[in-house]
Amino acid sequence: MKYIKIKFAIALLTVFTIVSCSDDILNTEASDSFTEDAIYSDVNQAKLVVVTAYNTTDSWSINRSQWWTQRIGIEGASWEAKFNFKDLDNPYKMRGGWSPSNAGLAFNNRWATSWDYVKLINEFLEKIEGSEAMEEAPEEVAQLKAEMTFLRAFTYFNLVKYYGGVPIIKKSFGLDDEFNLSRDSFEDCVDFIVNDLDEAAAILPMEASEFGRATKLAALAVKSRVLLYAASDLHDPSTVPNGPLYDYARSTKWQDAADAAKAVIDLVGDRDLIPVANATEYQNLFLHQNQDILFARSYGSLYAEMANDINTLPDQAQSPNGYTGWGLSSPSHNFALEFNMKDGTRTNNEEFDPLSINEGREMRYYANLLFQGAYFRGRNVDYALADNPSDTTPDGLDSPKGLGNQLHSSKTGYNIRKFQDESLSTLTTFSVDRPYIMYRLAEIYLNYAEAMFYINENIARDYVNKVSNRALQPNIDASGADLLEAIKRERRVELCFEGHNFFDERRWMNQDHIGGYDIRGLKWTKAVDGTLNYEEYTVVNRPWFDYRYYLPIPQTEIDKDASLEQNYGY
C-alpha cells in the first residue's frame, strides 16, 4: 500500500478552514501561511490540529466532498430503514452488492479518509514532543496528547468495524515515503485500540472543559463497545469468515467486555438513567445535553464541520414530504414491529391486532417513529392515497401525491421522529445545543447486560431491565436464549437510528436482519367515507452475499501493494 501522501500544509489549511469561526474552544487567529514550526511553538495553534482530528468521530460524512453521505445515515444500510429517494438503495449498493471498485457512495472513501486522520494524529503526537508549546503549557499539551491518542483509537475502531484487521501504524512518514504494509491481526488491532484508550483515560478529565471534547468516561465507553464487539460471534474462530484478520480467541473475552462496561458504571457512581414519564420526555433526552450522555459532538461552530445535514438539520432531513421534509430514511415495517406493545408483549403475539397497528404500542414507538395518524407539528401525518380523491377525501399531504417533493414520500409508511426538535419554528431552524450523541449510559447498561448474559444471567437481567423499565416497559423475566433475544431487542429499540444496528446484526451474525430479506412497508388508502386501510408489501429486496460482513478494501490500494490482503469473498 502506498500510504497517504498529503502535505502537512494541506492538513493545516483544513484545520484553519474548520475552526475559523470557532470562539469557544479557541480564541486565536489562524492563517494558512503559518509554518509547521509555528504550529508547534504555540499551544493555541496546536489545538487547531486537535480540532481537525475530531472530524474522525462518528460524523457519518468524515469526507465532506461526499454529497450524499452528508444527508443520509447508516440506518439506511441496516435493517432499520431504507434510503428514501425514488426506489434507490444505491448509496449503499444494498441490492447489487459491494465490490472493491465500488462500495457505494456512502462507503467508498472511508478507507482513505480514515488513514488521513491516522497520519495527522501520528504527526501531531511526534511533533508536539519537545516542542515550544509543550514547554509553554505542559499540562495542557498532555491533555491534547491524550485527546489525540483517544482519537487514534476511535479511528482505528471505525476501521476494524468495517474492514477487520488493518495495518497498525504508530508513526508518521515523510511526504515522499513509499512503503509496504501488511494487515495486522484483528486481535492485535483490538489490543492496540484498548491500549490507546487506557493510556488516554489515565490522563483525560472526568468532565470536558468544552462540550464535545473527550473525557475519561468517553474513553472507557469506547473501550466497552470495542471489547463487546470483539467478543461477538462474528469474531469467533468457529465462524466464517475466520483467520487472523477476523478472529478474537481470548478465553476471557466476555469477562473482559463485562469488566469494561462495569468500569464505566462504577465511574459514573450514583448517576443513573434519567427517568421519563412519557414519549415527549423521552424525545427530549436526544435534544439537549444531559447526564445520560457520555460522549457527543456539538452542533455549533465549535466543531463546524463535524456535523452534517442529517445532524444539523435532522428535522428537514427526516420529516415527511408534506412538511417540506426530505424524509431520507424510511424505517422498515419489519423494524417497526420490533417495538413492543405497552404491556410488554411482542407484536408477533396472537393478541396483536394488525387493524389497530399504531394503538397500544410501547412509549418508544411514539417517540421514535412517525406513522399514519401520528400528531406532528400541528397536524396528523397522512400517507394515505384516496380511492376516489375529492375535496372531502383528498390524497394525504404526505402521500406520493401529496405536498413537497413527492419523490421523498415515505416508501414504507414511516418516518423518523427521533432527534427532531418540534419546538423549532421551522424545519431549517438551526439547533445549536442539540447534541450528536455517540455514547450514552443506556448503551453501557446494554453492553453490560449482553456480556453478563454469558457469565451471570441474574445480573444481565437486572441491567437490561434498567433500560426497559426507564422506557416504561414491564420487567423482563426471561432466561436462556429468550433472555439473550430480549437483550438484543432492547438494544435494537433503545439505540435505534443511532448507528448501532448495522454493526450489531453483523456481529451477532443474524442473517434474518443483515440480508436475504425484504424491506417491508405499508401502503395506506382511504375510502370515500374516510375509512383507512393498509396493505403490507415488499418495498425492495435486500439480497445477502457471504462477503458482506466487511467492506472491501479499495482495489486501488490492493493494486499499489500486493501484500495488502483483500477481505474475504472479494
Residue 417 · residue 283 · CB < 8 Å: yes
pLDDT per position as a tens digit, 463-473: 999 999 999 99
> Mean pLDDT for the chain?
87
> pLDDT by residue (tens digit) across 47-69?
989 988 988 886 544 444 444 44
User: What distance in Å separates the CA atoms of residue 325 and residue 27, rounded to the nearest whole number?
Assistant: 37
Q: Which comes out higher in pLDDT, residue 53 or 24?
A: 53
Arithmetic mean of pLDDT, 540-550: 91
Pairing of strands 379-380, 517-526: unpaired
Domains and CATH numbers, the chain: 205-307+440-499 (1.25.40.390)
Helices 138-163 & 110-127 angle (0-180, nearest 10): 160
What is the predicted pLDDT for the residue at 304?
42
Averaged pLDDT for residues 509-530: 92
Q: What single-letter DSSP state applies at residue 360? A: S
The confidence band for 299, taking pLDDT boundaries of 50, 70 and 90, is: low
Task: Report yes or no on whether pTM surpasses 0.75.
Answer: yes
DSSP 161-198: HHHSS-----S---TT-----PPPPHHHHHHHHHHHHH
pLDDT of residue 354: 82
pLDDT for position 440:
97
Q: Where residue 204 falls among pLDDT bands split at 50, 70, 90?
A: very high
| Cis geometry, peptide bond prior to residue 237 (ω within 30 degrees of 0) | no
Question: What was the pLDDT predicted at 15?
Answer: 45
The arithmetic mean of pLDDT across residues 557-566, rounded, is 90
Is the confidence at residue 283, as pLDDT, over 90?
A: yes
Q: What is the mean pLDDT of residues 483-508?
A: 97
